[in-house]
Structures are given as structure tokens and as C-alpha cells.
């Protein structure tokens, strides 16, 4: 099965073609560009370049996987809308996965056994971070790590103060340094990590549900309230 994997939940604009084999995900191509302000300009060129490098056309893709955050509103929407549009145009299923789960899958796949839990921490802006907690000993049918807490948004100093109480012994993600634990790669989701998280769903015959973004914050813009009545005189 050939899967197109996208993520724009972080400053890394990620696209790649992954082959989901019986042994797990195998990356055929990867395109990553770091630019927090140009997700819309960079994503489709990255998709086309990834397909060209893998030697496949978009019509050869069997499914699309996209990170659903948590992430800043504008960047996250670019990836999810692009994935939905491609799925519709190609008539293939589109699976959404938590971007923090994909980072955890990469971090735990590349590391030796972890004697405790892993925190995945990414930048939420406004002096806050997004985070989720994983137990590497708990895996799904395809080996993806199980999330045991989160995702949440919080001040990094608050998270750092209770990291030990959460049982965390290491951290991954672009803001891992903020919690004072030993750091592990990667900083952002890889195409293989995204597909690893979605592997069970991809192997099933069920059609995925609607994509649901993880913003974790209420929107800044609100509907205006009723106009105040002005009294005469």
C-alpha cells in the first residue's frame, strides 16, 4: 500500500511517500522544509517532489495520512485542507492522526528500551507548549506507542515542574529542551511516523471519519455581542 503522508502542525512542512508493508512503514521519499510562515506555499511543491523522488504519480497513492495537530490554526489547516482535497480528487481515504503520536512513534522506534515514559513537547507559541505523554511498553497491533495523557497546552515551566510526577524520563519534539529531561529525536513528525500511527486503520477496510483538528485553544476571534442600546438624552 502506498501512502502519502503530510504534516503542517509544526514549522516543519512535511510530505513523503510511504509504503506500508507487512513489516511496517518504509519511506520511499521525504521532503521537509522549515518555515513557520509558508506552509501554504511549500506543501504542494513538497508533495509533488516527494512523488517524483519515489517514482510514483499522485494517482498511484492508495491513501493519505495527515497530522491533525495540535498546532497553530493557520499552519495546521493548510495540511488538513490539502489532505482532504487530495483524498477527494483521488478518491482515496484520508486518515488523521495526532502529530505528537507520530513524533512518539519515531522517538521510540529509534531508541533502546525506555525505563519510563516519554514526553512529546512542541511549540504552541504564546510562551506555551503542546504536550502528550507516552508509555513505550504499551503498543497497538502495529507497534505504535500508546498515549496515556494529553494532548494538552501549558506553560513549559509548569510542565517541567511536574514531569517527574508524570513518570517522564525523556522528551522529544522541537520544545523538548523546555522540560529539562534527556532529549530524543525527532523534532517533528516524519512520514513513516505518521503512517505507523495510522497503520491499524489503514490495514482495515473501514472508511475513516471526518478530519478533526486539535487546536486546544478557543479561537481569538469571537462573534460580536448585541449592540448596546443608546438612551435618548
Residue 176 belongs to a domain with what CATH number?
Answer: 3.30.420
| pLDDT at res. 221 | 44
Domain membership of residue 60 (yes or no) is yes
Q: Are residues 113 and 74 in the same domain?
A: no
**Residue 35 binned pLDDT confidence (cut-offs 50, 70, 90):** confident
What pLDDT does residue 222 have?
46
Whether residue 48 sits in one domain with residue 13: yes
CB 152 within 8 A of CB 132: yes
Encode pLDDT of 52-101 as tens digits: 999 999 999 999 999 999 999 989 999 999 999 999 999 999 999 999 99
Answer yes or no: do 88 and 125 share one domain: no
Confidence check: pLDDT of 19 > 70: yes
Average of per-residue pLDDT across 204-216: 90
**Do 195 and 156 share a structural domain?**
no
Residue 169 falls inside a structural domain:
yes
Amino acid at each position: 500500500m502506498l501512502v502519502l503522508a503530510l504534516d503542517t502542525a509544526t514549522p516543519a512542512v512535511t510530505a513523503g511517500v510511504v509504503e506500508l508493508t507487512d513489516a511496517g512503514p518504509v519511506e520511499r521519499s521525504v521532503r521537509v522544509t522549515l518555515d513557520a510562515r509558508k506552509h501554504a506555499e511549500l506543501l504542494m511543491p513538497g508533495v509533488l517532489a516527494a512523488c517524483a523522488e519515489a517514482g510514483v504519480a499522485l494517482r498511484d497513492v492508495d491513501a493519505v495520512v495527515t497530522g491533525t495537530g495540535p498546532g497553530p490554526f493557520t499552519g495546521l489547516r493548510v495540511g488538513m485542507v490539502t489532505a482532504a482535497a487530495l483524498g477527494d480528487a483521488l478518491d482515496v481515504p484520508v486518515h488523521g492522526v495526532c502529530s505528537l503520536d507520530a513524533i512518539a512513534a519515531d522517538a521510540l522506534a529509534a531508541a533502546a528500551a525506555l525505563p519510563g515514559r516519554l514526553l512529546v513537547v512542541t511549540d504552541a507559541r504564546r510562551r506555551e507548549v503542546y504536550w502528550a505523554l507516552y508509555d513505550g511498553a504499551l503498543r497497538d497491533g502495529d507497534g505504535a506507542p500508546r498515549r496515556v495523557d494529553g494532548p494538552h497546552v501549558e506553560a513549559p515551566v509548569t510542565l517541567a515542574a511536574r514531569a517527574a510526577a508524570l513518570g517522564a524520563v525523556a522528551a522529544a519534539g522541537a520544545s523538548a529542551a523546555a522540560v529539562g529531561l534527556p532529549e530524543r529525536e525527532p523534532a517533528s513528525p516524519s512520514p513513516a511516523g505518521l503512517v505507523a500511527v495510522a497503520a491499524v486503520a489503514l490495514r482495515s477496510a473501514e472508511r475513516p471519519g471526518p478530519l478533526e483538528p486539535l487546536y486546544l485553544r478557543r479561537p481569538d476571534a469571537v462573534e460580536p455581542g448585541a449592540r448596546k442600546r443608546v438612551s435618548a438624552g
